[in-house]
Amino acid sequence: MTGQTQSTPPLSLIHRSLIGDQEAFEQIFHAYKNLVYKTAFLMLGNNEDAEDILQSVFIRVYKSLDTYDASKGAFTTWLYRITVNHCHNFRRKHRFTLLSFTRQLENLMVSQTGVEKQFADNDALEHALSNLGEKLRAVVILRYYWDMSYAEIATSLDIPLGTVKSRLSQALIKLGEAMDDPITQNNKEMAK
């Protein structure tokens, strides 16, 4: 498991935050900022957007802390859900920026046809990851970065267990295809 963060902060911190104690909320922020930041970074691919998500998530947490029910699940589960949802909304707002980036990358690849372009495995994987849909990327990050079980992922994303299973499988199929792509293979051979 990555990190040593408690799954739920002490209830006293939550109670103090609810009555406006910002020092208490600051403790919650520092305890869970990396969970939010790293998830957002992996979902969106850059620090600037991750900072935006960090801010919007914790402002949302502060506003709706009274809706968190510890009896229904860990605080981290609630936080993952808010973070992933904010990332989805962020991508929706900035979808043309992201589409433009993808086209720029494609144009770059096309313009270099005939020039030997050496993609390492990591480049191919990174490109494939960036082309995964948001929903597949979310399960990949929760499983392969945060080591969550299928049940934990299902609860965090509020999806059925079967959907977790099928999305993970779809993601690995797509990533595997990208790694096995003839162009990638050819470039790896050229690099030897």
d(CA 54, CA 166): 29
CB of 175 to another protein, least distance (A): 6
- Quick one: 74 or 98, whose CB is closer to another protein? 98
Comparing CB distances to another protein, the nearer of 116 and 154 is: 154
Q: Could you tell me the smallest distance in angstroms from the CB atom of residue 113 to another protein?
A: 20
Q: Among residues 33, 25, 26, which one has the least CA distance to residue 3?
A: 33
Separation of alpha carbons 83 and 185, rounded Å: 36
User: Which positions lie near another protein, rule CB under 8 A?
Assistant: 2, 20, 22, 25-26, 29-30, 33-34, 37-38, 41-42, 47, 50-51, 54-55, 58-59, 62-63, 88-89, 91-96, 98-100, 102-103, 121-122, 125-126, 129, 133-135, 140-141, 144-145, 149-150, 159, 163, 165-166, 168-169, 172-173, 175-176, 179
**Least distance from another protein to the Cβ atom of residue 156, Å:** 15
Whichever of 14 and 175 has its CB closer to another protein, that residue is 175
Q: Return all residues near 10 (Cβ < 8 A) that are at least 6 apart.
A: none
Whole-number Å distance between alpha carbons of 156 and 73: 9
Instruction: Between 51 and 191, name the residue whose CB sits nearer to another protein.
Output: 51
Taking the complex as a whole, how short is the minimal distance between the CB of residue 73 and another protein, in angstroms? 18
Four-CA torsion 137, 142, 147, 149, nearest 10 degrees: -110
What is each CA distance from 43 to 26, 186, 187, in whole angstroms? 24, 29, 27
Question: Please, which residue, 27 or 116, has the CB nearer to another protein?
Answer: 27
**Chain centre to alpha carbon of residue 177:** 21
